[in-house]
Structure formats: C-alpha cells, structure tokens
Structure 1
Amino acid sequence: MSLKTRAQLRAARALLDWTQQDLADRSGISSRSIKRLETGEGLLAIRLDTLEKLQAALESAGVLFIPANGGGPGVRTRE
C-alpha cells in the first residue's frame, strides 16, 4: 500500500518513535520538508519521488501502510 495522508506520515513516525530529523536522516529528505508536509504547508508541491523516499524509509523500519477500508488509511508495524 502507499503513503496517502500527512496523518499517516505522523503516525508512522510515532510508531517508530522517530523525530522528523530521524526520518530525514533515513530518507534523504530534509527535516524542513518533512515538517512542511506534516503541517500541510507543502501539500500542493509534493513530488512523487519525495513520497516514495519517505515511504521506503518507513517501510524498511517495519511500518506497513494500510489502505482505506471504511475508516480511512492507516499504519501499523510489521509483526
């Protein structure tokens, strides 16, 4: 599945107990960009490769992105 919402991004970081800087270090995306994405400042200018890098970093650490299934998209950790 894929990263669809800024709430998923924040929740995924929280599951891993990562700061924005932790995610920046692991994804190659600046912490400033991550902050803008999470607060909604940069939603119109999100590049697909940025989302792919963020998703890859989070998934490699054990996060699974869950599709909308009646309650909206979500996240959980791999078992």
Structure 2
Amino acid sequence: MTISPSQCRAARALVGWSQDQLAAASQVAKTTIANFEAGKRTPYDRTLVDLQAALEAAGVELIPQNGGGAGVRLAKP
C-alpha cells in the first residue's frame, strides 16, 4: 500500500507533527512533503516508503481502501 497525500496529512495530525517534524523523522525535505500533501507532485517510491515508515514508527497505522475509503488510525500499543 502506498501512502496518499490525505493520509499523510491525517497521520501527521494524529501524532501532532508539523511538516518540519515529519521531515526530520523521515529524512525527506519539507518542500517535498508540502508539495506531496498539496497534490502538486508525487515523490519517488522510496520517498513514500520513508514517509510511511516514519509515520508508522510514530504509531500510525495506514488503512487501505476497503470499500469505505483509505484512512489512518493510531495503532494499538
């Protein structure tokens, strides 16, 4: 599953992260994150993997589209 721009925004909100904090955690440039979340460009697959890994390490679980639409939630501890 590949993270979508809306999932990225929602995941950051769940953990209370700014784009700067996600940039630091994922080692992805803030401008890349901002452009991705705004739908201006799609990053390389490796960059999406890095974003997703950082958010999952922070406790976010990505929910695949399963009839109700893709989403995010906090993972059980």
TM-score (norm 1): 0.91
Runs of 4+ in 1 over 3 A off after TM superposition: none
Number of equivalenced pairs = 76
Residue by residue over 1:3-61, the C-alpha shift from the partner in whole angstroms, topping out at 9 and shown as x without a partner, is: 43110000000000100000000000011110000001112xx2010000000000001
Q: Which runs of 5+ in 1 are unaligned?
A: none
How much is the aligned-residue C-alpha RMSD, in angstroms? 0.9
**1:10 maps onto 2:16 in alignment:** no
Identity %: 46
Query: Which residue identity lines up with residue 62 of structure 1 in the other structure?
Result: G
Query: Which residue identity lines up with residue 64 of structure 2 in the other structure?
Result: P
1:33 is matched with 32
2:73 is matched with 76
CA distance in 2, matches of 1:78, 1:57: 14
1:53 is matched with 50
TM-score (norm 2): 0.93
Query: Which residue identity lines up with residue 53 of structure 1 in the other structure?
Result: D
CA distance in 2, matches of 1:73, 1:67: 5
Which secondary structure does the structure 1 equivalent of 2:65 belong to?
coil
